């Protein structure tokens, strides 16, 4: 996956003339905070906002776009025309939504930090359409802001920064504003998955219909202890030269691990199973970890089972499998 060319070029223009070493130090500090489950508190310096846009915005875009692809596959009739993004940062979810649904017409973005909001607006000016025309609203996500319901509501890397009681309050508020669908994305860590799992249960209780990634709408079959096992996925993202420089990295790509839940008002087309781990390929056999409509399943496909082998050899971590999942060994 790559950033939209307009966003990549806009980011490069913003980064031009800034001290690369200072941005790299800010980026390292940001990465440490994200790994530790921290948040960006207080007003942000321009260098912090730039470091975030250069290093975390691409990763957030990649994870959100991948989750949106799963939502679109499970609910192909959604085609949102309006977007509400909460805790928008510099606008990664806006760009992802516009790339996922070209028919997007309008977007409202809630962001509390003036520096992040201003930078996001400058980046979006290069996007055209709904991206350039987005309405940026300065407000705390837990504050008294008001808006009408939107076809799609998103919150990426937001809930996990809040106390548990506030998570419940905000989840309920976002669901009330979702005329079509709600998408929540968090880091692919045990803590991030615990946040998504709790939101999933709250949304189930509120009558939301699960669309992705789950192949069922029942209770999650994973252990209650998220450190024992947790549901997460990974999206590979190409790094631009500016991205590599800001991170002090040599590789031309990175893998962003994320957890998510997509729910909607109408029922979706649930997959038959979801691949929860990298398939393990050995001579003559492929080992799969699947979440199915009935339970968790660890299955082994051998080359002798030609139909199942043909299916299994093309599967990757995170893939949804349709009715053909029934061809896999029980």
Strand ranges inside 140-223, DSSP E: 150-156, 178-187, 209-212
Q: From CA 39, how far away is CA 34, in angstroms rounded? A: 7
Residues 248 and 282 in one domain: no
Do residue 143 and residue 222 come from a single domain?
Answer: yes
**Do 174 and 230 sit in the same domain of this protein?**
yes
Q: Are residues 233 and 277 in the same domain?
A: no
> Is 47 exposed, middle or buried, given 0-12, 13-18 or 19+ CB atoms closer than 10 A?
middle
CB atoms within 10 A of CB 14: 19
Closest CA to 305 of 276, 279, 327: 327
| CATH assignment of the domain containing 164 | 3.40.50.150
Domain count for the chain, please give it: 2
Give the predicted TM-score (pTM) of the model: 0.91
Residues 323, 189 within the same domain: no
pLDDT at 229: 85
Cβ-contact 134, 108 below 8 angstroms: yes
Q: Is residue 42 domain-shared with residue 181, that is, in the same domain?
A: yes
Predicted pLDDT at 46 = 66
Cβ partners under 8 Å of residue 258, min gap 6: 63, 66, 67, 185, 186, 187, 188, 192, 232, 233, 234, 235
Residue 306 banded pLDDT, cuts 50, 70, 90: confident
Task: Show the domain range for 285.
Answer: 273-327
Q: What is the pLDDT of residue 264?
A: 98
Query: Which range (76-85, 126-135, 167-176, 316-325) has the least confidence?
Result: 316-325
pLDDT at 84 over 90: yes
* pLDDT band at residue 53 using 50, 70 and 90 as cut-offs: confident
Q: Are residues 285 and 150 in the same domain?
A: no
HSE of 314, CA atoms in CB hemisphere, 13 A: 8
Overall average pLDDT of the 204-231 stretch: 92
| Residue 323, preceding peptide bond in cis (omega within 30° of 0) | no
Dihedral of the CA atoms 198, 200, 203, 204 (nearest 10)? Answer: -110
For residues 259 and 277, state if they share a domain: no
β-strand pairing of 280-282 with 106-111: unpaired
Q: What is the pLDDT of residue 15?
A: 83
pLDDT-based confidence at 209, cuts 50/70/90? very high
Residue among 316, 191, 210, 189 nearest 261 (CA)? 210
* Complete DSSP assignment for 43-97: PPPHHHHHHHHHHHHHHHHHHHHHHHHHHHHH-TT---SEEEEES-TTTHHHHHH
327, pLDDT greater than 60: yes
DSSP state of 298: E
Q: In the predicted model, is pLDDT for residue 245 greater than 90?
A: no
């Amino acid at each position: 996956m790559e950033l939209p060319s307009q966003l990549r070029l806009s980011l490069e223009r913003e980064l031009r003339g800034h001290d690369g070493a200072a941005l790299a130090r800010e980026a390292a500090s940001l990465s440490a905070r994200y790994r530790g489950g921290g948040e960006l508190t207080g007003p942000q310096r321009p260098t912090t906002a730039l470091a975030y846009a250069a290093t975390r915005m691409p990763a957030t875009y990649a994870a959100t776009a991948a989750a949106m692809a799963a939502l679109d596959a499970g609910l192909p009739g959604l085609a949102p025309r309006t977007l509400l993004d909460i805790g928008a940062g510099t606008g990664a979810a806006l760009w992802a939504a516009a790339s996922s649904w070209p028919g997007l017409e309008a977007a409202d973005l809630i962001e509390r930090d003036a520096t992040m909001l201003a930078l996001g607006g400058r980046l979006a000016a290069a996007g055209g359409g709904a991206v350039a025309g987005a309405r940026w609203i300065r407000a705390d996500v837990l504050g008294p802001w008001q808006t009408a319901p939107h076809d799609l509501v998103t919150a990426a890397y937001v809930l996990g920064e809040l106390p548990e009681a506030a998570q419940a309050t905000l989840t309920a508020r976002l669901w009330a504003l979702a005329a079509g669908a709600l998408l929540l994305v968090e880091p692919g860590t045990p803590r991030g998955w615990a946040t998504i799992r709790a939101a999933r249960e709250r949304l189930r209780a509120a009558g939301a219909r699960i669309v992705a990634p789950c192949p069922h709408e029942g209770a999650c079959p994973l252990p209650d202890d998220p450190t024992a096992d947790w549901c997460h996925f990974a999206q590979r993202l190409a790094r631009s030269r500016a991205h590599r420089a800001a991170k002090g990295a040599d590789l031309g790509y990175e893998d962003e691990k994320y957890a998510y839940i997509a729910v909607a008002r109408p029922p979706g087309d649930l997959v038959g199973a979801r691949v929860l781990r990298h398939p393990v390929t050995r001579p003559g056999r492929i080992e799969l970890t699947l979440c199915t409509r009935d339970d968790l399943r660890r299955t082994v496909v051998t080359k002798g089972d030609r139909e199942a082998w043909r299916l299994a050899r093309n599967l990757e971590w995170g893939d949804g499998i349709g009715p053909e999942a029934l061809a896999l060994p029980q």
